[in-house]
A = this chain, B = another copy of it.
């Protein structure tokens, strides 16, 4: 068995499953690979399978009927798409879409296998309900931030989380505005202010963090 085929062990919530359940997951799943930038699910494109993300990142975002876009959340390696997939199956006419932000590797399991596992395994049920619960509470937090948090605080926070250890973020003002659900001009002004304070440095298509401590202080202070 290859490394990818032992994928169940890589999921914190799945590694404690009963051995027979793990065996079902492994034997009835297919490892798939998707290149960067592909719309994995979206309007008019609901997948047949539920995905468990082994490597890479999926960005879930939404386009408003006013033309505005906003990033809702990301699915990282070790997480599953069950909730988003389930939502798609339940409501075809929703407006969210999932895009591979990097090349990704995932384990795909058919819906009926998913249903069978939910029925047979208490551990698997707990895993699924925990995923749903985490998603809903995260959405509560996001509503709170969008409604009440100042934009400079949200931008500092987003820069830090996008940097992921690196000091330079490859992105554009436009993409940052979609992250926060605001307008490009607003991002440009805020970044100018951060640059004026010496916290960041800008180049075309990238932002470099010069003073993480100050950014963290701003991001944490009122959060």
Binding site for B on A (CB under 8 A): 62, 64-66, 68, 70, 72, 83, 86-87, 89-91, 94-96, 115, 118-120, 122, 125, 129-130, 132-137, 139-140, 142-144, 146-149, 181, 222-223
Contacts and interface: CB of A to CB of B under 8 A. Distances in A.
Given A66-B148, A70-B144, 9 more contacts: A62-B140, A66-B222, A68-B147, A68-B148, A87-B133, A87-B137, A89-B133, A118-B125, A132-B136
Contacts of A125: 115, 118-119
Contact of A136 (B64, B120, B136, B222): B136
A49 B223 CA distance: 32
A64 B143 CA distance: 10
B148 A90 contact: no
Contact of A70 (B72, B87, B132, B147): B147
A136 to B, nearest CB: 5
One complex includes copies of this chain to the number of 2
Nearest to A150: B66
A18 B106 CA distance: 36
Nearest to A135: B136
Contact of A148 (B64, B96, B144): B64
Contacts of A83: 132-133, 136
A64 B147 CA distance: 10
A86 B129 contact: yes
A65 B147 CA distance: 12
5 contacts: A62-B140, A62-B144, A66-B148, A119-B122, A136-B136
Contacts of A146: 143, 146-147
A149 B68 CA distance: 10
A72 B140 contact: yes
A136 B137 contact: no
Contacts of A119: 118-120, 122, 125
Contacts of A147: 64, 68, 70, 146, 181
Contacts of A66: 148-149, 222
Contacts of A94: 137, 140
B137 A91 contact: yes
